């Protein structure tokens, strides 16, 4: 039985990945901080932890020694480093913490991996935010695009990406970067714009809220579903050659389009309820992201199952049920 070690198992991607690997017959281990709880931790993940399908261990990316001891003890076949300070807007408020977690934290895990289980395979969660203002002439960002980040989050992710590539070359490690564009689900935290919009729209529909405050309505993002993207993580990690891959839907939608879609699904007009508030604007905005995932589609035969509309409708159905007490978090 293969063993997987996941940092950030409480989060959206960590929870879906753990379930995906359990279904493939893996023994799954996850690292959690003592004060770590996920707002949207699924009932299924809680059950899997309680039943012993997932073994959790206390640790922190800032403590290389704790990671090293765990890897030495578990000897995993695969390591997925997904833990991060993942909110871009928040990174402007806490830049030092963001860099400590997303940059130095990656180095700590890599060094623990190199010293404790160098024959394992290593996945690093990189981000489309690394590209920043770079857009190719055809409107895409791809693996070869110049990285020009515009946030502390994006800068921290560039370091993580490059240190993984360095360790791969210098120490002959099977270490890969997944350059994932935005990906969402019912498990996304409500401080992220997709779930913030969906939860608020459902609350408005049920008479629990009367308005929604947002920042930039005209930023464009390439939004996919987390379930599709964890499949991509596993596929690229198990490719014969350690490499880096963009994961995306190859479509882009504005925040305004997303709001219109969500509110229309609930028979509402978003213009009646949304108020723009400057406090939600970033000090430096990233206007446009659209990923070219041709490489992973052709090399690993991966493609997303969910459309943008299907994903947003699923999130709406979920929150309508939760807010009416019909369902716990999935």
pLDDT band at 32 (very low <50, low <70, confident <90, very high): confident
Q: Give the integer Cα–Cα distance in Å for 234 and 220.
A: 27
Q: Give the integer Cα–Cα distance in Å for 307 and 213.
A: 26
Kindly name the residue from 78, 129, 184, 314 that is annotated as catalytic.
Answer: 129
Whether 129 is catalytic is: yes
Span 235-249, average pLDDT: 98
Domains defined along the chain, listed by start: 3-184+223-247 (3.40.50.720), 193-220+252-289+308-323 (3.90.25.10)
The tens digit of pLDDT for each residue in 149-195 reads 999 999 999 999 999 999 999 999 999 999 999 999 999 988 899 99
**Which residue is associated with the tokens 């004060």?**
35
Whether 153 is catalytic is: yes
Tokens of 219: 């930023």
Specify the higher pLDDT residue, 319 or 46. Answer: 319
Kindly name the residue from 26, 113, 123, 153 that is annotated as catalytic.
Answer: 153
Answer yes or no: is pLDDT of 33 > 90: no
Q: Give the integer Cα–Cα distance in Å for 155 and 247.
A: 19
pLDDT computed for residue 96 by the predictor: 97
Q: Within 13 Å, how many C-alpha atoms sit on residue 293's CB side?
A: 30
pLDDT computed for residue 329 by the predictor: 61
The tens digit of pLDDT for each residue in 276-294 reads 988 888 877 889 999 999 9
Q: What is the chain's mean pLDDT, rounded? A: 94
pLDDT computed for residue 44 by the predictor: 59
Kindly name the residue from 91, 127, 145, 226 that is annotated as catalytic.
Answer: 127
pLDDT computed for residue 39 by the predictor: 53
Complete DSSP assignment for 51-114? HTSEEEEE--TT-HHHHHHHHHHH--SEEEE------HHHHHH-HHHHHIIIIIHHHHHHHHHH
């Amino acid at each position: 039985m293969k063993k997987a070690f996941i940092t950030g198992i409480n989060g959206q991607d960590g929870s879906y990945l753990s379930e995906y690997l359990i279904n493939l017959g893996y023994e799954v281990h996850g690292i959690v901080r003592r004060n770590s709880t996920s707002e949207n931790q699924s009932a299924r993940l809680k059950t899997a932890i309680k039943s012993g399908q997932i073994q959790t261990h206390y640790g922190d990316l800032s403590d290389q020694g704790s990671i090293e001891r765990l890897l030495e003890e578990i000897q995993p076949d695969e390591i997925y480093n997904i833990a991060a300070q993942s909110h871009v807007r928040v990174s402007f408020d806490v830049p030092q913490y963001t860099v400590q977690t997303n940059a130095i934290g990656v180095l700590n895990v890599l060094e623990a991996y190199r010293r404790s289980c160098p024959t394992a395979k290593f996945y690093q969660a990189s981000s489309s935010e690394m590209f920043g203002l770079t857009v190719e002439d055809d409107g895409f960002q791809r693996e070869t695009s110049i990285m020009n980040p515009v946030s502390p989050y994006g800068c921290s992710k560039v370091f993580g990406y490059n240190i993984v590539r360095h360790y791969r070359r210098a120490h002959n490690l099977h270490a890969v970067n997944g350059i994932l564009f935005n990906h969402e689900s019912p498990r996304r935290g409500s401080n992220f714009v997709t779930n913030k919009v969906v939860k608020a729209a459902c609350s408005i529909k049920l008479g629990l809220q009367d308005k929604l405050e947002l920042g930039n309505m005209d930023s464009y993002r390439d939004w996919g579903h987390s379930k599709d993207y964890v499949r991509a993580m596993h596929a690229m990690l198990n490719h014969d050659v350690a490499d880096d891959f963009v994961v995306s839907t190859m479509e882009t939608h504005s925040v305004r389009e997303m709001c219109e879609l969500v509110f229309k699904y609930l028979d509402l007009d978003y213009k009646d309820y949304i108020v723009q508030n400057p406090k939600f604007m970033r000090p430096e905005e990233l206007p446009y992201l659209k990923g070219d995932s041709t490489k992973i589609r052709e090399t690993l035969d991966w493609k997303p199952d969910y459309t943008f509309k299907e994903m947003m409708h699923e999130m709406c159905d979920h929150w309508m049920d939760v807010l009416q007490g019909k369902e716990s978090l999935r």
